[in-house]
């Protein structure tokens, strides 16, 4: 008999935790936490139909019967996907985190439960046998977060957030001693979802906050590389310039998309690997430990004047400049160069900012990578996961083109 899928409004962390507990134990249906309200009780569908009852590509029985959780990706690449995770993958991830952090503890939930990092806080809490403290959905307040940290009473205290939230916490902690003291009570503050700007990470550590950068995705049941080191039984390698990951935390695949599942997950010499679409390096130290360095998305590359430019590298260089720590870099068409990089920020800047950014990027990345202009927006839109919505920003700018302000 095919396992059922229950769609739950992700705004009620308690309801999600209860349903998740049953899904992990096999006594309840698989769940899909939703970022929208689910009226008239939860909705149910058959996993064999891709979770919505209308897919033309049924999920193989092997996948359907193993699924405990379905996470809809943020759609940062343009098309959201439904990632199917087994109880074994979720529990393996939680065990790896517990080992990496030095034991189980109590968690502060500050992310939506329809986001893998948010639901993993609940999985870890279930495994640890501790009650998570949850922030109310909506606006993220640094002072509310700090007050909730003070409610944690277990020997070990943790939370998991994204860089945008860290920026607000650091801003508040630098001017408010009470916030700073609360943040220092955390034994680890995991930061994931996207790369953490180096300047922001340094500010946090200077305050005495024990921040830990994590790397992973819904397809790996959340973070599986902490501060560059694979955790648990995670393995990493680079094939053809692309970072691949293996281990018990890998997803079963994508609901309703067998072709994508076969393309992203493959078996090599008896081991199943996930192709991340990220570039990077994997090195082994004298101590035998493996270090993973991620340099950016393979597909986040433009051709400017015939030269390949990795926009992730450009963005890191831009964010190192004072006043641009939260800026993003997006591609734009250019009549002269084919494509150029454009800096987008929500912070005011002076007349000399573009030349400073161009000089910094030219020095660290190359002349072809230098941004052609800076665009000021009231706010930088984000996806439900908290990541900047670079795709919508790029599309909006392209719909209202502006002349390049400088050349290579």
Q: Give residue limits of the domains in the chain.
A: 4-292, 301-399
Distance between CA atoms of residues 219 and 252, nearest Å? 8
- Which run of H or E residues covers position 134? strand 133-134
What single DSSP character describes residue 269?
T
Check if the beta carbon of residue 246 is closer than 8 Å to that of residue 108. no
pLDDT at res. 401:
74
Check if the beta carbon of residue 374 is closer than 8 Å to that of residue 345. yes
Instruction: Centre a 10 Å sphere on the Cβ of residue 27 and count the other Cβ atoms it contains.
Output: 8
Distance between CA atoms of residues 253 and 326, nearest Å? 33
Residue 364 has pLDDT above 80, yes or no: yes
Alpha-carbon Rg for the chain in angstroms? 22
Distance between CA atoms of residues 41 and 52, nearest Å? 16
pTM of the predicted model as reported, rounded to 2 decimal places? 0.80
The predicted model gives 96-108 an average pLDDT of 97
Residue whose structure tokens are 């926009």: 311
Distance between CA atoms of residues 300 and 243, nearest Å? 15
Check if the beta carbon of residue 304 is closer than 8 Å to that of residue 340. yes
Look at residues 280, 259, 108 and name the one whose alpha carbon lies nearest to residue 186.
Answer: 108
pLDDT at res. 2:
61
Terminus-to-terminus CA distance in the chain, angstroms? 62
To the question of domain 4-292 being in CATH 3.40.50.12780, the answer is yes
248 or 36: whose pLDDT is higher?
248
The predicted model gives 316-334 an average pLDDT of 92
Residue 75 has pLDDT above 80, yes or no: no
**Within this chain, domains 4-292 and 301-399 share the same CATH topology:** no
Check if the beta carbon of residue 228 is closer than 8 Å to that of residue 219. no
Check if the beta carbon of residue 300 is closer than 8 Å to that of residue 310. yes
Q: Give me 267's structure tokens.
A: 């078996």
Q: Could you tell me what percent of the chain has a pLDDT over 70? A: 88
What are the b/e assignments for 135-147, b being 16+ CB within 10 Å?
A: beeeebebeebbe
Residue 221 has pLDDT above 70, yes or no: yes
User: Beta strands of 155-270 (E only): which ranges?
Assistant: 157-161, 188-191, 211-217, 222-226, 229-230, 235-239, 242-246, 253-254, 265-268
197 or 191: whose pLDDT is higher?
191
Residue 224 has pLDDT above 80, yes or no: yes
Angle at 193 between CA 192 and CA 199, to 5 degrees: 60
Q: Which CATH superfamily is domain 301-399 in?
A: ANL, C-terminal domain (3.30.300.30)
pLDDT at res. 79:
62
Mean pLDDT of the chain: 88
Distances in whole angstroms, Cα of residue 33 to Cα of each of 114, 127, 322, 341: 5, 19, 39, 36
Residue 78 has pLDDT above 60, yes or no: no
Backbone angles phi, psi at 128, to 5 degrees: -75, -20
Look at residues 20, 326, 35 and name the one whose alpha carbon lies nearest to residue 197.
Answer: 326
Residue 246 has pLDDT above 70, yes or no: yes
Distance between CA atoms of residues 330 and 318, nearest Å? 12
Look at residues 127, 30, 151, 11 and name the one whose alpha carbon lies nearest to residue 86.
Answer: 30
Partners of residue 273 on adjacent β-strands: 246, 266
């Amino acid at each position: 008999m095919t396992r059922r899928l229950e769609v739950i409004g992700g705004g009620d962390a308690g309801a999600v935790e209860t349903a998740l507990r049953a899904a992990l134990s096999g006594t309840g249906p698989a769940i899909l936490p939703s970022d929208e309200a689910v009226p008239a009780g939860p909705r149910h569908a058959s996993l064999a139909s891709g979770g919505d009852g209308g897919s033309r590509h049924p999920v193989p029985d092997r996948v359907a019967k193993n699924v405990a959780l379905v996470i809809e990706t943020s759609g940062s690449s343009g098309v959201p996907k439904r990632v199917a995770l087994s109880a074994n993958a979720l529990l393996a991830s939680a065990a790896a985190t517990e080992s990496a952090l030095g034991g189980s503890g109590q968690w502060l939930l500050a992310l939506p439960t329809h986001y893998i990092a948010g639901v993993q806080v609940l999985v870890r809490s279930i495994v640890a046998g501790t009650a998570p403290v949850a922030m109310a959905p909506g606006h993220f307040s640094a002072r509310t977060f700090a007050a909730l940290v003070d409610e944690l009473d277990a020997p070990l205290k943790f939370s998991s957030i994204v860089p945008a939230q860290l920026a607000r916490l650091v801003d508040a902690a630098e001017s408010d001693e009470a916030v700073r003291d609360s943040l220092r009570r955390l034994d680890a503050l995991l930061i994931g979802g996207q790369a953490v700007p180096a300047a922001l990470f340094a500010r946090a550590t200077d305050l005495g906050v024990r921040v830990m950068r994590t790397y992973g995705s819904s397809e790996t049941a959340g973070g599986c590389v902490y501060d560059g080191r694979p955790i648990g039984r995670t393995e990493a390698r680079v094939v053809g310039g692309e970072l691949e990951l293996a281990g018990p935390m890998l997803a079963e695949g994508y609901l309703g998309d067998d072709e994508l599942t076969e393309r992203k997950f493959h078996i090599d010499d008896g081991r199943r690997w996930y192709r991340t679409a990220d570039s990077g390096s994997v090195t082994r130290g004298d101590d035998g430990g493996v270090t993973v360095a991620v340099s950016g998305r393979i597909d986040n590359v433009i051709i400017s004047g015939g030269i390949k430019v990795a926009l992730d590298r450009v963005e890191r260089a831009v964010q190192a400049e004072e006043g641009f720590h939260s800026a993003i870099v997006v591609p734009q068409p250019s009549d002269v160069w084919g494509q150029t990089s454009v800096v987008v920020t929500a912070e005011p800047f002076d007349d000399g900012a573009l030349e400073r950014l161009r000089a910094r990027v030219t020095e660290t990345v190359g002349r072809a990578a230098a941004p052609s202009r800076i665009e000021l927006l009231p706010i930088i839109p984000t996806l439900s996961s908290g990541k900047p919505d670079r795709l919508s920003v790029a599309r909006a700018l392209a719909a209202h083109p502006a002349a390049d302000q400088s050349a290579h």
